[in-house]
Structures are given as C-alpha cells and as structure tokens.
Amino acid sequence: MYVGLDVGGTNLKGARVAEDGSVEARLHEPVARERGEDLLEQLRRAVQTLSGGSRPDAVGVGVPGIVDHRTSRLQGAPNLPALAALKDADLAAELTHRVACPAFLDNDGNAAGLAEAWLGAGRGASSLLHVTLGTGVGGAVILDGRLWRGQSGYAGEIGHIQVDPQGVPCGCGSVGCMETVVGIRGWVRRAAELRASRATRLKDVALEPATIVAAAREGDAVALQVVDEVARCLGQGLGGLLNALNFERCTIGGGVSAAGPFLLERIVRETRSRCWANVFENCSFRLAELGNEAGVVGAARVAMVGLADRRWA
C-alpha cells in the first residue's frame, strides 16, 4: 500500500493507493503555506491519517517545483513559501525520517504524467508526452514506461520552448516561450487585446479559457481567433517535440484541457502540419482522463516506481 500526496499552492491532497491503483482513502485540506516545518509536520500527519495504522510500502509527494532527483532538493517553488523555505533540505530523506518508510519526491507535472501513463489516457503507450495546460505549461516525458527527468530534474519543461523570438517576455527570463501564448495569462492577454477593437461577446465577461472557449463554440470570431492562436502555438511546440522524440502518444491535461475535444481537435490539426506524416500517424492524441485524481495517484506511482528502482541500484 502506498500513500500519494499532492502539495498544491492552496491545498494538500492525499490518497492511500493500492498496488493496482485503486484509491482506498482520501484527504483534502488547506496546505500549510508559510513555514517549512509546518508543512513537513502536515505531510507526516497526512501519511499517518491515510495509512490508518499500518505502515505504507512507500510515500510519494508531488510538489509545484522542480526537484533535482540527484539530491532531492527543490530548484525553486515560486508559489509556496513553505516549500521554498525547504529548498536546501534533502526532502526525501527528511520525509523518510519522519514517516518511517521510504519517501520519494517529484515535480507535480511528472507525477500527473506518470498517473496518466499508468491508469489514464497514456495507458498502453510505450512512450508518452504528457502536456499540462494551466497558468503554467509543463509536462512529462515518459519513454518505455519510465519517466525521463534529465540531468537536473527539468525534463518536461516544455512550456519554455521559444516559439516566437519577437514574442512577449516570459517569467523565465526568455522571450516568446510557448507558455506566454498558451498559458492562461496568454489567453487572457490576447483576448483583451482583440476585444478592445472588435465586436465580440467577450466584451463584458471575465476573461479565462473557459469563457473564451464557450464563446468560440458559439462562433464568436474573436474568441475563435484566440483559440486558434493557442492551438497553432501548441502545434508548433508539439510538432517539434514529436519530430525530435517520435512519441507513441500525446496526452493533454491540466485545467485548460477541460475545453475538451473542441480544443484538442485544433491542437491535433496544427500539430499535424508541423511534423513528418509518419511521425504524426504513429502518435495518438488524447485528453487526460484522471482529472484531479492524477496528482495523488501519480504521487503514489512515484513512490511505487521509486521503491522498485532500488532493486536495481
């Protein structure tokens, strides 16, 4: 039995997960946002609560930041002060000590990708590019069923592929990254620009991907243009990655993927024109299936895989 914990900017979610992936218990509470010690103690209690007296085989934790797997140290966690305060600690060792069983840590996008590969839209594929669309744009690279973390844990950071050298500045320090167009702020910025000078039913609504997609479905030209530009930009980034890595499957998750087939069809069409025909034909595109569950199930999978890997160390 494994425990998976998903540390978010607002909430801590947790689950007890059996070997076959079934969820046997859940937990959902506000996260200890400020102090590192409070967060560690909250994680310990959550494991205790979820495991119900017996000791888990292992614990996995997904965090909103890059984890250097060589040291189990965070490279930064901009949205959660409590986590940022722990950046010099070997978090896996610290947690292992507190929960008295092996603990493993990974980036939340990697955890979600592992979950989809295991039980969701990536099931059965030997290689998977999982894309997370939200405020940030991230992902996970899974090759032959294994997560590829790269040299220092950054693998999967596909949101910072430069798609437009003349584009807008990105928080990462570069310019015209995919995230500047495809991240939620990109949708909102573009819709705001366009509605300033054109007739659209987006005039008096709060701009967010859901309202923009709703208007686009009803034929609103401005909203359609925003959706098409997002899809084109994703097609550019994904087409390049598919050519370079020739994935068997590409799954689209994260909050924005709630836009569903309406968005997916456009992404697929734009990707198609930007990669080899053979590469496109050998890749299937799917919406993520696990929704909110991906975080905790993926964290449990991080634990399961981490433990299994020790057999071969």
Residues at the interface with a second copy (CB under 8 A): 66, 75, 126-127, 139, 141, 143, 148-158, 160-162, 165, 172-174, 232, 236-237, 239-241, 243-248, 273-279, 282-283
| Rounded CA separation 69/248 (Å) | 26
End-to-end CA distance of the chain: 22
Q: Smallest gap, in angstroms, from Cβ of residue 124 to a second copy?
A: 13
Return the number of the residue (30 or 150) whose C-beta is nearest a second copy: 150
CB of 140 to a second copy, least distance (A): 10
Which of 22, 126 has the CB closer to a second copy? 126
Please report where in the chains the tokens 């799954």 appear, as a residue. Answer: 251
**49 in helix, strand or coil?**
helix
Return the number of the residue (96 or 246) whose C-beta is nearest a second copy: 246
Q: Tell the smallest beta-carbon distance from residue 155 to a second copy (Å).
A: 4
Nearest-approach distance from CB 250 to a second copy, in angstroms: 11
Sign, CA torsion 88/94/95/96: positive
Classify 81 in phi/psi space as left (phi over 0), alpha (psi -120 to 50) or beta.
Answer: alpha
| Gap between the Cα atoms of 138 and 157, Å rounded | 5
80: nearest Cα among 25, 36, 139, 135? 36
b/e per residue, 51-85, with b = 16+ CB within 10 A? beeeebbbbbbbbbbbbbbebbbbeebeebbbbeb
The residues, any chain, with a CB within 8 Å of residue 47's CB and separated by 6 or more, are: 3, 5, 14, 56, 59, 99
What does the radius of gyration of the chain's CA atoms come to, in whole angstroms? 20
- Kindly state the smallest distance separating residue 208's Cβ from a second copy, in Å: 26
How many CA atoms does the CB half-sphere of 116 hold within 13 Å?
Answer: 34
Nearer to a second copy, 157 or 220 (CB): 157
158 or 296: whose CB is closer to a second copy? 158
Of residues 153 and 306, the one with the C-beta less far from a second copy: 153
Q: Where are the alpha helices (DSSP H) in 138-272?
A: 178-182, 184-195, 209-217, 221-245, 261-272
Query: In whole angstroms, how close is the CB of 244 to a second copy at the nearest point?
Result: 5
273/292 with CB nearer a second copy:
273
Return the number of the residue (158 or 264) whose C-beta is nearest a second copy.
Answer: 158
Residue 206: CB minimum distance to a second copy, A: 30
Taking the complex as a whole, the smallest distance from the CB of residue 77 to a second copy amounts, in Å, to 14
